[in-house]
Amino acid sequence: MVRAGTDATSFAAVFNAHHRQAVRLAYLLVSDPHLAEDVVSEAFAKVYVRWAKGGVRDVGSYLRRAVANEANSRLRRRYLERRVAEERSGDDRGVRLVDEHAAEHDEVWQAIQRLPDRQRTAVVLRYYEDLSEADTAEVLGCSVGTVKSQVSRGLARLQELLHAPTAGGGR
Amino acid sequence: MDPIERQVRESLRTRADDVEPTPALWREVDRRLARRRRLRAWTWLPVAASLIAAAVAIPMVVGGDEVPRIDDVLGTDGPEETPTDPVGPDDGDAPRDVDGTDADEAPLALDLPTAPVVVAAEQRVSLVGPDGTLELATFPTEGESVVLEVAVQPGSTPDDLTAIVVTTGEGFTELRWVDVRDGEVVGRGSITEPPLAAVSTTETDVVIEGTSWSPAGDRLAWLERHRDGTGTVLRTIAWAGEPGEGAPGSCPAVGPGVDECEPAADEEVSFPVPELDGTGARLAGWVASDTAAAFQFVAPDGDPGYWVWSLGIGTDTIPTVDDSPQRIEVDEPDVTAVLDIAGGTVLRRTADGVEVVLPDREVLATLPDGDRREIPSGLVAAGDGGAFVVVDGRLHEVMPDGDVTDLGAAVAVDRVD
């Protein structure tokens, strides 16, 4: 746990402690590395507002929730964000994809990206962040039952996609 | 763990490990933080605070559609840009203040009057408050969906909010709802199918207007104008977290002028209201007293004065209500009556604002402006790059450089501190 404080100097330390995990989570939620950076930037800015007032006891948890919510919001405007990302394609912003080729050939990852947003978010929080169903529900602002159903449907859908002929003949 | 779960976990971790943030990320975060801190420092200055207070007062007396530029109010060029010296993490230096200033010089919170509001613009519904703007719903311009009105559930707060949004597009009207919990949008939906809605949204022969919550916030009502010969219908539905949910309702007593009441389902009750066919009457509100509840409709007719008709509902007895629309005469030529809000108490608009007039014609209070659906003029919030000011029931964003943007019609939200 990172204790909240009102000294803005230490917020850079907060950033250092959490930004890598936040960017990776954002990328898994939105797929687009440029958009992931925007999501994390805005999430940190929102966290800062409350952190500066001493209102955040667990920055990591609060940031995770901010990233998930911001990602969800951005996905709804994805077509606009894609346009922005294309315009930025020539600058030095964004995250580095070490092995883009591998991502394109990861059938499971390709299937995950085809999940509905809520199912995908629930699956990522459960299996990447290793959150419990209760913690996932808290991040998503829904009931545990909703998390269970979203994850269950997500996994079922993934199995369908991985075994469908259009998915390359299954795994 | 199932094989599919193992596959998912392995894939997610592999893909995540491929991603490494760059220093550009910190620069972007730093830029956003510096912007927030600059504004806080600016608004804390005593002279700025007093001038912002003037920004509250001036719109109250100016009225009308013209919004003063903030330069005119402040007499200043706004906040000076604080040079920033972005310091990236992991660059070998100890992290410094995000905007290069001493953190103790600037407070981290505003001490200004705030009144969060839900704002309805043409393609957007937002919650605007001191913590910033939360987009509640956006609608694509390509589909030509336009927000007609918004009704916020009584008891809503900025953190826990339910708003009803009426939109029109491609020939049909649609009722949508947005749920906010703990300050985040957690749900949206549409009321699209019978019995909760009149017809499927594929139909184009019904217009919905005048959404109104019961005072307790447990039911929602609206007026339907059917073009297929059905006429005008007042529909009410239960609401407990989502439409149609809640304690089973009973068919309310039939009010004067209403010849039938046939609840299609426990969660929905509708009233044919033939008296309103072909009129311009608007559902003005759902009011309650100790003994009865009533819907009130207001219809201007072009002459000084207006018509009000109260339709009562109850469980045991038919409450005392008007058996026909009542005309409220208004003597003053410059008065446009607004609403009869309860028990003969009237809100009426004058050149000085909106007066709250008791049944004995005593003026109880004069509000700066606005009617029952609007909020008084004044400062909503200052922060995050400017100020939000309500003028004539519409929210305007006033930027430090003087630019003013009309954000749309405003609906008040309760604040629980």
For residues B278-307, give the mean pLDDT. 61
Which residue in B204, B201, B208 sits closest to B225, CA to CA? B208
Which residue in A44, A113, A37 sits closest to B8, CA to CA? A113
pLDDT reading at B324 higher than 80:
no
* pLDDT at residue number B108: 24
Q: Could you tell me if A77 and A32 are in contact, meaning their C-beta atoms sit under 8 angstroms apart? A: no
Q: In chain B, which residue's Cα lies nearest the Cα of A162?
A: B4
B13 chain-A contacts, CB cut-off 8 A? 128
Share of chain A above pLDDT 90, in %: 26
Q: Could you tell me if B347 and B285 are in contact, meaning their C-beta atoms sit under 8 angstroms apart? A: no
Rounded to whole angstroms, how far apart are CA atoms B160 and B181? 4
Q: What is the dihedral of CA B114, B120, B125, B130, to 10 degrees?
A: -10
What is the enclosing helix (H) or strand (E) of B72? helix B70-74
CB contact under 8 A, A23 and B108: no
CB contact under 8 A, B8 and A112: yes
pLDDT reading at B136 higher than 60:
yes
pLDDT reading at B47 higher than 50:
no
Residue B388 confidence class, pLDDT cut points 50, 70, 90 = low
Q: How far is A115 from chain B (nearest CA, A)?
A: 12
* pLDDT at residue number A144: 86
Supply the DSSP symbol for B97. Answer: -
On the question of a cis peptide bond just before residue B195, with omega within 30 degrees of 0, the verdict is yes
**B181 vs B365 pLDDT, higher one:** B181
Measure the CA angle with vertex A119, ends A117 and A124; round to 5°.
95
pLDDT reading at B335 higher than 50:
no
- Torsional sign, CA B196, B201, B206, B212: positive
The structure tokens 């839900």 sit at: B118
Residue A29 confidence class, pLDDT cut points 50, 70, 90 = very high
For residues B376-385, give the mean pLDDT. 52
CB contact under 8 A, A155 and B8: yes
Condensed to tens digits (0 to 9), the pLDDT of residues B202-211 reads 456 777 877 8
> Phi, psi at residue B326, to the nearest 5°?
-105, 135
State which amino acid sits at residue A47. Answer: V
CB contact under 8 A, B33 and A77: no
CB contact under 8 A, B11 and A49: no
Rounded to whole angstroms, how far apart are CA atoms B329 and B379? 34
A52 chain-B contacts, CB cut-off 8 A? 108
Q: In chain A, which residue's Cα lies nearest the Cα of B1?
A: A127
Q: How far is A151 from chain B (nearest CA, A)?
A: 10
Q: How far is A17 from chain B (nearest CA, A)?
A: 10
B14 chain-A contacts, CB cut-off 8 A? 102, 106, 109
Supply the DSSP symbol for B265. Answer: B
Condensed to tens digits (0 to 9), the pLDDT of residues B261-276 reads 444 334 777 777 777 7
Record the pTM.
0.43
* pLDDT at residue number A50: 77
Indicate the range of B34-48, B60-74, B108-122, B230-244 predicted with least confidence.
B60-74
Residue B298 confidence class, pLDDT cut points 50, 70, 90 = low
Rounded to whole angstroms, how far apart are CA atoms B101 and B80? 13
Share of chain B above pLDDT 70, in %: 36
* pLDDT at residue number B306: 55
Q: Could you tell me if B26 and A15 are in contact, meaning their C-beta atoms sit under 8 angstroms apart? A: yes
State the angle between helix axes of B23-44 and A11-30 in degrees (0 to 180), rounded to the nearest 10.
120
Condensed to tens digits (0 to 9), the pLDDT of residues A102-161 reads 767 788 999 998 888 888 999 999 999 999 999 998 888 778 888 898 899 899 999 988
Indicate the range of A123-137, B181-195, B358-372 predicted with least confidence.
B358-372
CB contact under 8 A, A93 and B87: no
As to burial, measured by CB atoms within 10 angstroms (0-12 exposed, 13-18 middle, 19+ buried), residue B328 is: middle
Q: In chain A, which residue's Cα lies nearest the Cα of B96?
A: A9
* pLDDT at residue number B300: 55
Share of chain B above pLDDT 90, in %: 3
pLDDT reading at A74 higher than 80:
no
Q: How far is B416 from chain A (nearest CA, A)?
A: 17
Condensed to tens digits (0 to 9), the pLDDT of residues B144-180 reads 567 777 888 887 887 788 888 887 776 677 888 888 8
Q: How far is A106 from chain B (nearest CA, A)?
A: 7
* pLDDT at residue number B107: 25
Alpha carbon separation from B365 to A78, B62, B361, B394 (Å, rounded) = 49, 19, 12, 21
Structure tokens at A108: 């499971």
Q: How remote is the C-alpha of B415 from its chain's centroid?
A: 13
Rounded to whole angstroms, how far apart are CA atoms B253 and B296? 16
A6, A10, A41: residue with CB nearest B108: A6
B29 chain-A contacts, CB cut-off 8 A? 15, 19, 40-41, 44-45
Indicate the range of A15-19, B195-199, B258-262, B396-400 predicted with least confidence.
B258-262
Size of chain B, expressed as the number of residues it contains = 417
Q: Which of A19-23, A50-54, B65-69 has the highest mean pLDDT?
A: A19-23
Indicate the range of A13-22, B281-290, B352-361 predicted with least confidence.
B352-361
Which residue in A127, A131, A4, A1 sits closest to A55, CA to CA? A4
Q: In chain B, which residue's Cα lies nearest the Cα of A48?
A: B33
**Residues 6+ away with beta carbon under 8 Å from A119:** A150, A151, A153, A154, A157
pLDDT reading at A2 higher than 60:
no
| HEC secondary structure over B224-248 | EEECCCCEEEEEEEEECCCECCCCC
Question: Residue B223 pairs with which residues in a beta bridge?
Answer: B209, B234
Q: In chain A, which residue's Cα lies nearest the Cα of B91?
A: A16
**Residues 6+ away with beta carbon under 8 Å from B57:** none
- The mean of the pLDDT values for chain B is 59
Rounded to whole angstroms, how far apart are CA atoms B293 and B317? 11
pLDDT reading at B111 higher than 70:
no
pLDDT reading at B291 higher than 80:
no
For residues B297-309, give the mean pLDDT. 57
Residue B199 confidence class, pLDDT cut points 50, 70, 90 = low
* pLDDT at residue number B355: 57
Rounded to whole angstroms, how far apart are CA atoms B400 and B388? 11
State the angle between helix axes of A133-140 and A144-163 in degrees (0 to 180), rounded to the nearest 10.
100
Alpha carbon separation from A144 to A63, A113, A151, B35, B137 (Å, rounded) = 20, 23, 11, 38, 25
Supply the DSSP symbol for B197. Answer: S
Rounded to whole angstroms, how far apart are CA atoms B173 and B206? 7
A34 in helix, strand or coil? helix
* pLDDT at residue number B24: 79
Size of chain A, expressed as the number of residues it contains = 171
As to burial, measured by CB atoms within 10 angstroms (0-12 exposed, 13-18 middle, 19+ buried), residue B141 is: exposed
B10 chain-A contacts, CB cut-off 8 A? 108
Q: Ramachandran region of residue B386, left (φ > 0), alpha (ψ -120 to 50) or beta?
A: left
CB contact under 8 A, A41 and B32: yes
CB contact under 8 A, B4 and A159: yes
Residue A57 confidence class, pLDDT cut points 50, 70, 90 = confident
ipTM tops 0.85: no
A33 chain-B contacts, CB cut-off 8 A? 19
The bridge status of strand B219-226 relative to strand B231-238 is antiparallel
